Amino acid sequence: MNLKTAMACLIVAAAATMATSFAGDTTTMPGKGLQESRKIERRATITAIDPAQRVATLKTEDGNEFELEASPEVKNFDELKVGDMVVATYTQSIGVHIEPAGKASPGVKDTATATPAPGQAKVGREVTATLKVESVDVANNMVTLSDGAGRSAPVDVVDPRARERLKTLKPGEMVVVTYTEALALRLEKVAAK
């Protein structure tokens, strides 16, 4: 599975579970949709380091591997090495808004280091998926979304605010989901368990 396909799956899954499992700071922005963010703290082992890019590949205790770019605030980055157990702290956010039919095209865009909004932390990765509304089932709080590449998935709408919006959602409109991961704020060595 390539990165774009994996990220598209991630975005559809995130859209499906937003607001019940994300459980961070939630805001509704008029005309902008829903946005949530949370600070993540993960214990992991460093499996690779790219000092030039300030990127560490981390493997969590449950075996998941991910890359995290260290912000300038991580002063000890040059002291870290493969095999070190660390606690990584970073921020994730997800936002969802609707675009009218014809205003956007389905697809996935992955940006490695995006420009932050004023007052926001520098973004390490931003993935935006634009998904076409294929069908809406208000009675069962379901919407079927497609990615423009022949894949579609039914999404259970769980957020009460999103359920209200579901009542006016129409096939052909676009659901734009943006996932961002800020640069690591902290990579602190810890003793192995």
- Indicate if the pLDDT at residue 21 is higher than 50: no
- The predicted-structure confidence for 62-86, as pLDDT tens digits, reads as follows 998 888 888 888 888 999 999 999 9
pLDDT at 143: 92
- The predicted-structure confidence for 94-131, as pLDDT tens digits, reads as follows 888 889 988 888 888 877 654 544 444 555 778 888 99
Of 129, 143, 145, nearest to 5 (Cα)? 129
pLDDT at 106: 87
pLDDT at 135: 95
Q: pTM surpassing 0.85?
A: no
Of 33, 37, 13, nearest to 145 (Cα)? 13
- Are the CB atoms for 110 and 127 separated by under 8 Å? yes
Report how far residue 104's alpha carbon sits from residue 127's, in angstroms, rounded to the nearest whole number: 16
- Indicate if the pLDDT at residue 16 is higher than 50: no
Cα Rg, the chain, nearest whole Å: 18
pLDDT at 28: 47
Report how far residue 184's alpha carbon sits from residue 71's, in angstroms, rounded to the nearest whole number: 5
Report how far residue 48's alpha carbon sits from residue 163's, in angstroms, rounded to the nearest whole number: 43
Neighbours of 100 (CB within 10 A): 10
pLDDT at 112: 64
Pick the range with the lowest mean pLDDT from 20-24, 38-42, 48-52, 93-97. 20-24
Of 74, 78, 76, nearest to 90 (Cα)? 74
Read off the pLDDT of each residue in 166-192 and give the average, rounded to a whole number.
84
- Indicate if the pLDDT at residue 172 is higher than 90: yes
Long-range CB pairs of 1-7 (<8 Å, 24+ gap) are: 3/110, 4/108, 4/110, 7/108, 7/110, 7/127, 7/129, 7/179
pLDDT at 139: 96
Q: What is the mean pLDDT of the chain?
A: 78
pLDDT at 32: 61
Of 33, 21, 29, nearest to 128 (Cα)? 33
